[in-house]
């Protein structure tokens, strides 16, 4: 079933005559793509891309958004639809649609250094950055980043649009299970980025559940579906996010979802963290201190509820669907304007 908050917003937007506009979107990861439903446009979502863990849409992460359809890259290239904008996530996506005439909007989801490390790329970072800048200028494309850290690493800081969360999508927080929670995929490829040594030192021996696609991690599995994921956020005592401040933000989508669900957050000190230490969670670079904070929350559900309420307020303030919708619609319009400046004829 479609997500309730997204359905409400789409129904509201459709009264303004935008329901006939269609975006062509490459599927990068389902949680991020799903939020595009708040824009009020139709979505054609390209699935079956190389390198994806699942060939089709991963329903364990999210249901298929309302007013959308899934299609292959070949079907998208042959489609007669006049897309309002094409949303890509890397140079490969842009090259794949090079023969289509519509405006291009590329979204940056990772730091340049983090991506090179995860992919074990031997291409020099500056060369990758220069290549992207030249190609964007050539095709008259526009680039938006999900955070300033990630935009700055690629040299695109003019348009920053953080992702969004609808707190009404989550059931009231309970925190009855004295166990921490962390949601992440393919940890083994991201250990340096996620400061996994700190995670293990701080929370080793404590009740912590890891959820996600993680082949090679015994006893770890993904949620059954989004309803199950929301149940986990509702029931667990706190949420964990650790990340190298040079390679990754002090939060990810799962962190903001946990905050919106009313969970306190534990993690390392990070200039970009939305967590206020001692108010909506605890931050420390000392694993023994982080472990102490974890035990404190495991022993005190009332404290977790109080801090989680503060975390929820932060999520509502800083990651609202209204702010995302307004900013991303403007990003699309900027991409449409820049199309006229392209230096190649398609």
pLDDT, one tens digit per residue, over 236-295 is 999 999 999 999 999 999 999 999 999 999 999 999 999 999 999 999 999 999 999 999
Pairing type for strands 265-267 and 236-241 reads: parallel
Task: Write down all domains in the chain, each with its CATH number in brackets.
Answer: 4-164+321-341 (3.40.50), 167-318 (3.40.50.2000)
Note the pLDDT of residue 128: 86
The distance from CA 322 to its chain's CA centroid, rounded to whole angstroms, is 17
Three-state SS annotation for the chain: CCCHHHHHHHHHHHCCCCCCCEEEEECCCHHHHHHHHHHCCEEEEECCCCCCCCCCCCCCCCCCCCCEEEECHHHHHHCCCCCCEEEECCHHHHHHCCCCCCCEEEEECCCHHHHHHHHCCCCCHHHHHHHHHHHHHHHCCEEEECCHHHHHHHCCCCCECCCCCCHHHCCCCCCCEEEEEEECCCHHHCCCCCCHHHHHHHHCCCCEEEECCCCCCCCCECCCCHHHHHHHHHHEEEEEECCCCCCCCCCCHHHHHHHHHCCCEEECCCCCCCCCECCCEEECCCHHHHHHHHHHHHHCHHHHHHHHHHHHHHHHHHCCHHHHHHHHHHHHHHHHHHHHHCCCCC
Instruction: Encode pLDDT of 110-144 as tens digits.
Output: 999 998 787 776 667 788 899 999 999 999 999 99
Nearest to 110 by CA among 306, 13, 253: 253
Q: pLDDT (tens digit, 9 = 90+) per residue, 168-217? A: 999 999 999 999 999 999 999 899 999 999 999 999 999 999 999 998 88
In whole angstroms, give the CA distance from residue 259 to residue 253. 10
Per residue in 219-252, pLDDT tens? 899 999 999 999 999 999 999 999 999 999 999 9
Q: Which residue has the tokens 């079907």?
A: 75
């Amino acid at each position: 079933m479609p997500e309730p908050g997204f359905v409400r917003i789409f129904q509201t937007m459709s009264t303004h005559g935008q329901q006939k506009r269609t975006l062509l979107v490459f599927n990068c990861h389902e949680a991020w793509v799903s939020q595009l439903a708040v824009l009020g446009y139709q979505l054609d979502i390209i699935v079956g891309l190389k390198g994806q863990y699942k060939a089709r849409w991963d329903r364990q992460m999210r249901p298929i958004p309302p007013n959308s359809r899934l299609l292959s890259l070949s079907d998208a290239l042959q489609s007669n639809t006049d897309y309002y904008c094409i949303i890509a996530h890397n140079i490969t996506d842009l090259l794949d649609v090079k023969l289509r005439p519509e405006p291009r909007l590329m979204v940056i989801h990772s730091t340049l250094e983090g991506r090179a490390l995860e992919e074990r790329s031997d291409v020099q970072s500056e060369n990758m950055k220069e290549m992207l800048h030249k190609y964007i200028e050539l095709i008259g494309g526009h680039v938006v980043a999900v955070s300033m850290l990630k935009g700055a690493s690629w040299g695109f800081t003019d348009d920053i649009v953080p992702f969004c969360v609808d707190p009404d999508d989550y059931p009231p927080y309970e925190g009855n299970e004295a166990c921490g929670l962390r949601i992440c995929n393919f940890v083994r490829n991201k250990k340096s980025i996620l400061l996994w040594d700190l995670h293990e030192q701080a929370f080793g021996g404590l009740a912590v559940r890891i959820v996600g696609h993680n082949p090679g991690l015994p006893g770890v599995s993904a949620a059954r579906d989004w309803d199950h994921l929301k149940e986990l956020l509702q029931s667990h005592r706190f949420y964990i996010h650790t990340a190298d401040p040079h390679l990754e933000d002090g939060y990810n989508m799962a962190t903001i979802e946990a905050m919106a669900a009313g969970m306190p957050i534990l993690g390392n000190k990070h200039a970009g963290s939305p967590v206020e230490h001692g108010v909506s969670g605890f931050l420390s670079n000392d694993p023994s201190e982080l472990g102490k904070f974890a035990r404190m929350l495991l022993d005190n559900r009332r404290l977790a509820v109080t801090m989680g309420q503060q975390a929820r307020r932060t999520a509502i303030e800083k990651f609202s669907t209204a702010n995302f919708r307004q900013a991303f619609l403007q990003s699309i319009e900027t991409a449409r304007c820049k199309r006229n400046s392209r230096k190649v004829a398609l």
